[in-house]
Amino acid sequence: MIENIDDFIPTILYVEDEEGIRVELTRFFKRYTDKLYIATNGEEGLDMYKKYKPDIIISDINMPLMTGIEMAKIIKKIDPKQHIIFTTAYNDSSYMLEAIELDIDGYVLKPVDYDKLEYKLNSILDHFKQKLELQQYQQKLEERVKEEVDKNKEQEFILFEQSTLAQMGEMINMIAHQWRQPLGVISTIASSLSLKHSLGRLECSSVDQSCHTIVETTQAMSQTINDFMNFNKKDSNKQVFLHKTIENVREIIGAEFESIGIELDVNIDKELSVYHNATHIKHTLLNILINARDALIENSIDNMLINMYVIEDENLLTLVIKDNAGGIPKEIIDRVFESYFTTKKEGKGTGIGLYMSKKMITSIPDSYIDVDIEEGCTLFKLKFKKSA
Ligand SMILES: Nc1ncnc2c1ncn2[C@@H]1O[C@H](COP(=O)(O)OP(=O)(O)OP(=O)(O)O)[C@@H](O)[C@H]1O
Ligand SMILES: [Mg+2]
């Protein structure tokens, strides 16, 4: 692609059998280009056209072996847009009708009027320059679009990383929560064994019983780690059972929600399934439930309740997550899916959770996420196409 349009130099093919005219016009064309090819009849002209694909052809009409018209007919079949100018004598006028039908760029009578020829050449060159200008403009536009798309992708990636980090933070808190109780059990058993030993009252049966409890407790702790590992496993799109997916989320948040006093009421048929990505649904549910938890605590609700149920119609399954935390205020409900929109204190929320949730849910056709408020409750609705 030429950087500067004024640097454009056309390739010209000049076809003329009369030597005198040929020498004279060659000198003239050299003012326009150093990429000039000369042929002395139509046949030679056609060969050179095929070889050099010139931008402009200037040709005599009446020539031996093949006339200019015959040559132009073949060339126009190959490339109907080829620029051709004929130089003609008065007695060639019988050919002119044919030439017009070929849709050529014009003709110049012999003896050649240089001003007229220059005018015709310049108008063809202007056409080339306009075409080039358009191409350059288009290329710049494409580059701009690509730059913006790349920037967007990078931004998305950063958002995704931030969102994952924020959720990891929450999950680590929850592991800590789930481990607190079994750690307490192990610590109590160890203290009691040590005390009995120092008092000389340690019996074999009690050592056995204590070891058994410690093994069981550590196995449960290890299961917690497995649950967390599985939770973050990358998954592909496939049949996802909603009840099982929700149970996976409950394994993570259950202990903490219970300790705060949040009741999680799940009323979903075990057989219900959708075609989606299980990890994406789990992360979305985790974010919605953590948002509900935060709102329930913030608004000091007495009987904290989260209901999860499914509404079925012919094609769609709608999974509803309903909390009684007071409802998202009307003034902000339209903004909750925007990136970086948060009402939480600094360090508490980044405002990416629902933005990423929407991305994840809607990444599969016919899947949606909506939010509604109803009598002091927020209802998040995940809509999926029923799996076949
Ligand atoms: N159940 C809800 N009740 C009340 N407000 C809610 C509820 N769910 C979401 N919101 C509002 O929507 C905002 C955006 O939620 P979102 O999950 O996108 O971000 P966040 O929770 O603030 O931060 P992050 O999830 O990135 O840690 C919240 O800050 C809160 O104001
Ligand atoms: Mg959130």
pLDDT in tens, 186-209: 999 999 999 999 999 888 888 999
Q: Which of 342, 359, 377 to mutate to test the pocket of ligand 1 (most atoms within 8 A of CB)?
A: 342
* C-alpha 75, offset from chain centre: 44
- Is 145 part of any domain? no
Q: Alpha-carbon Rg of the chain, whole angstroms?
A: 40
| pLDDT of residue 359 exceeding 70 | yes
> Which residues constitute the domain of residue 284?
235-385
Which of the listed residues 112, 132, 160 is the one where a domain comes to its end?
112
- Mean pLDDT within 74-78: 95
Span from the CA of 165 to the centroid of ligand 2 (angstroms): 12
Span from the CA of 352 to the centroid of ligand 1 (angstroms): 9
Span from the CA of 337 to the centroid of ligand 2 (angstroms): 10
pLDDT of 22-62, one tens digit each?
999 999 999 889 999 999 999 999 999 999 999 999 999 98
- Mean pLDDT within 90-109: 76
Which of the listed residues 96, 112, 128 is the one where a domain comes to its end?
112
Look at the chain and report how many structural domains it folds into: 2
Q: 79-93, 150-164, 212-226, 319-333: which has the highest mean pLDDT?
A: 319-333
| Separation of alpha carbons 42 and 61, rounded Å | 8
| pLDDT of residue 91 exceeding 70 | no
Residues 239 and 108 in one domain: no
Lowest mean pLDDT among 115-124, 227-236, 325-334, 373-382: 227-236
263 phi, psi to nearest 5 deg: -90, 130
Residues 246 and 381 in one domain: yes
CA-nearest of 240, 247, 378, 381 to 320 is 381
| pLDDT of residue 17 exceeding 90 | yes
Residues 239 and 379 in one domain: yes
| Separation of alpha carbons 89 and 85, rounded Å | 13
- Is 135 part of any domain? no
Residue 158 pLDDT:
86
Confidence of residue 377 (pLDDT cuts 50, 70, 90): very high
- Is 67 part of any domain? yes
Tell me the pLDDT of the chain averaged across its residues.
90
> Which are the contacts of 309, defined by CB distance < 8 A and separation ≥ 6?
266, 267, 268, 319, 320, 322
Span from the CA of 387 to the centroid of ligand 1 (angstroms): 30
Q: 């996976």: which residue's tokens?
A: 248
- Mean pLDDT within 328-346: 93
Residue 312, classed as helix, strand or coil, is strand
* 56 close to 124: Cβ distance less than 8 angstroms: yes
| pLDDT of residue 1 exceeding 60 | no
- Mean pLDDT within 76-96: 83
Looking up residue 288, the CATH number of its domain turns out to be 3.30.565.10
* 237 close to 364: Cβ distance less than 8 angstroms: yes
Ligand number nearest to the C-alpha of 160: 1
Residue nearest to atom 5 of ligand 1 (CA): 328
- Mean pLDDT within 260-269: 96
| Separation of alpha carbons 125 and 133, rounded Å | 12
| Separation of alpha carbons 219 and 367, rounded Å | 38
Count other Cβ atoms within 10 Å, centred on residue 24: 14
Residue 37, classed as helix, strand or coil, is strand
pLDDT of 138-149, one tens digit each?
999 999 999 999
Residue 381 pLDDT:
98
Taking each helix axis as running N to C, give the angle between helix 204-231 and helix 242-260, from 0 to 180 degrees, rounded to the nearest 10: 120
- Is 240 part of any domain? yes
| Separation of alpha carbons 87 and 275, rounded Å | 71
Q: Which of 159, 323, 333, 336 to mutate to test the pocket of ligand 1 (most atoms within 8 A of CB)?
A: 336
Residue 5 pLDDT:
66
User: Which residue would you say has higher pLDDT here, 166 or 68?
Assistant: 68
Identify residue 385 by its one-letter amino acid code. K
| pLDDT of residue 12 exceeding 60 | yes
- Is 296 part of any domain? yes
Looking up residue 38, the CATH number of its domain turns out to be 3.40.50.2300
98 phi, psi to nearest 5 deg: -60, -40
Residue 14 pLDDT:
97
- Is 173 part of any domain? no
Residue 4 pLDDT:
66
Q: In the numeric block, which tokens belong to residue 257?
A: 């929600």
- Is 99 part of any domain? yes
Residue nearest to atom 11 of ligand 1 (CA): 336
- Is 166 part of any domain? no
Pocket, ligand 1, Cβ cutoff 6 A: 166, 287, 291-292, 295, 323, 325, 328, 336, 341-344, 349-355, 378
| pLDDT of residue 2 exceeding 60 | no
Confidence of residue 348 (pLDDT cuts 50, 70, 90): confident
> Which are the contacts of 117, defined by CB distance < 8 A and separation ≥ 6?
28, 58, 85, 87, 108
Q: In the numeric block, which tokens belong to residue 368?
A: 């949606």
Which of the listed residues 112, 137, 168 is the one where a domain comes to its end?
112
| Separation of alpha carbons 255 and 233, rounded Å | 21
